[in-house]
Structure 1
Amino acid sequence: MLNKALKLIRTFYDVSQSDLSARLGISNSYLSEIESGKKQPTMDILSRYSEQFDIPLSSILFFSENLEGPKPSDKFRMHVAKKIVSIFEWNQARNETAKNFGKKAKTF
C-alpha cells in the first residue's frame, strides 16, 4: 500500500514522475518501480519524499505498516488509511477530469 500512497501523493501535487525522480535524485525507472510496487523505497528516499512534499515521514510510513494478524487498533488505522487513499484518488480523478476539459482544478 505504500507504493500506492507515494504515487497518490505525487499525483495530488500534480508532479510528473520524471520531475519527481529528478528532485529525489533517482532514476525515473526506479521511481516507476517503487510506485508500481516492484521495489521498496529506502528510508532515505522516503525522507526525501517527506521533505519534497512537506509531509511528516511518520505519515508516509503509516501506509506501510504490516497488517498481518491485525489488532483492533490496526483495523481502525487501516480503515483511516483507506479513507485517506480514497480522498487522494478522488482528487486525482478530479484533476484528470479538469485537465480533459482544459481547466485546472482547484486544490485544497
Structure 2
Amino acid sequence: MLEKVIGHNVKRIRTKKKVFQEDLALDIGISPTYLNRIENGKATPSIPLIERISTELDVSSNELMINGDIIKSDKNVELKLTLAEIYEGIPEKYHEEIIKFNMSLANIISIKESETK
C-alpha cells in the first residue's frame, strides 16, 4: 500500500510541477524505467531516494508518504499542515528516523484499512 501512496504522490506532484519523468529520473540518479515503476506502485524507493525525490520536487518527504484519501476533514488537513511545519523545523540529521517512523505508521494505517474492507 505504501508504495502505491508514494508512487501516486510522486506522479501527482511531478506532473503538477510540469516535470518530465525522464528529467526527474536523471536529476535523482535513477533510470526512467525505475521511476515509472515507483510511480505505478510497483517499486518502493529507499529512504535516501525518497529524500532525493522530495528535494528535487521541492516538497517534504512526508508529503510523498501522506495518503490523501485518509485526509478528508478540515481538522485532518490542519494536522497535515502542522506536521509538515514541524518536520521542516527539525534538524536534518533526524529526518531519516522521522521518515522511518512515518513509513511504519503508514503501514499500520494500511493494515487497519485493509482489515475494515
TM range (shorter): 0.5 to 0.7
Structure 2 residues not aligned, in runs of 5+: 68-102
Q: Give the structure-2-normalised TM-score.
A: 0.54
Give the SS at the match of 1:38.
coil
Deviation at residue 53 of structure 1 after TM alignment:
1.6
Alpha-carbon distance in structure 2 between the residues aligned to 1:17 and 1:37 = 15
Cα shift readout 1:59-96 (whole Å, capped 9, x = no counterpart)? 222236122225xxxxxxxxxxxxxxxxxxxxxxxxxx
Deviation at residue 36 of structure 1 after TM alignment:
0.9
Alpha-carbon distance in structure 1 between the residues aligned to 2:63 and 2:19 = 19
Aligned to 2:63: 59
Aligned to 2:19: 15
Alpha-carbon distance in structure 1 between the residues aligned to 2:42 and 2:10 = 13
Structure 1 residues not aligned, in runs of 5+: 71-108
Q: Give the structure-1-normalised TM-score.
A: 0.59
Aligned to 1:33: 37
| Residue 46 of structure 2 is aligned to residue 42 of structure 1 | yes
Alignment RMSD: 1.5
Aligned length: 70
Aligned to 1:69: 112
Partner amino acid, structure 1, of 2:112: G
Alpha-carbon distance in structure 2 between the residues aligned to 1:58 and 1:17 = 21
Between the aligned residues of both structures, percent identity stands at 31
